[in-house]
A = this chain, B = another copy of it.
Amino acid sequence: MTLETLRKRKAISNASTSESRYDAILDMSEQVFANSGYKGATIREIAERAGVAQGLIHYHFRNKEELFEAMVARRSKSINGQRMHLLRALFEENGPPSLERIMEGLFRPTIEAGLSQAGDGGAFARILVSIANSAGEWEQGLTAKYYDPMGQEYISALVKIVPGLSRENAVWAYMFAIGVGMTMMAKTGRPRRLSNGICDDGDAEVMLAKIIPFISAGVRSFTKQPN
């Protein structure tokens, strides 16, 4: 029996939270990093709010950078696994899937992940937005490692199902789609301000209903364009 297995056994036997301290640290990391940013977040606060000693975080994750990456790795592998599964399932149905269903498959797992979390649901989504929009080498390294492979699959899917769409335009289409999706994931509250309370970026279902047709029309416009 590995040490990893033992750790999980102990976690399950923990009556108070039914969760290992290891996972509690990762959970709280999402909350704190989301609210304060990487530099603004402190290991002290994560430790306090997770109810563990500060030293324990260094024992499990060595330093702040590796804690952050472990947090990204855990959640991104889970969400992107769902996405890959969804995408492949779509292509195994009768006939090629519609552009709209492809796009829904791109964004829905992020929403589902948010809803199932305790506390602030969209914490990891907000972290993701800050990573994806950073030009820093480290952040782009994380994006490349945990998100580029999935991006490539979606780009290939777009080329397959949209007649006349070049790979170059499919890359732009994917980037623009992600850009629009950020509006939903960032949860800035700006739509509400700009619309006197009518448009709510906290309601993911409503946003999806707006985002999917918007992106789909944009992608199809590339069909009538050179390159």
Q: Which residues from chain A sit less than 8 Å from chain B, CB to CB?
A: 35-40, 126, 129-130, 132-136, 140, 143-144, 148, 151-152, 155, 167-169, 171-176, 178-183, 186-191, 193-195, 198-199, 201, 210-211, 213-222, 225
Closest to A137 in B: B189
Bound complex: CA of A171 vs CA of B210, how far in Å? 11
Q: Are A189 and B221 in contact (CB under 8 A)?
A: no
Contact of A172 among B38, B135, B176, B191 (CB under 8 A): B191
Measured between beta carbons, the chain B residues less than 8 angstroms from A144 are 190, 193
Number of copies: 2
Q: Are A140 and B190 in contact (CB under 8 A)?
A: yes
Q: Are A189 and B140 in contact (CB under 8 A)?
A: yes
Closest to A168 in B: B198
Measured between beta carbons, the chain B residues less than 8 angstroms from A211 are 176
Bound complex: CA of A132 vs CA of B182, how far in Å? 11
Contact of A40 among B39, B135, B210, B216 (CB under 8 A): B39
Measured between beta carbons, the chain B residues less than 8 angstroms from A174 are 194
22 A-B residue pairs with Cβ-Cβ distance under 8 Å, sorted by A, are: A39-B40, A126-B135, A130-B133, A132-B188, A133-B133, A167-B195, A167-B198, A168-B195, A171-B199, A172-B214, A175-B190, A175-B191, A175-B194, A176-B210, A179-B180, A182-B182, A210-B222, A213-B225, A217-B217, A217-B218, A217-B220, A218-B218
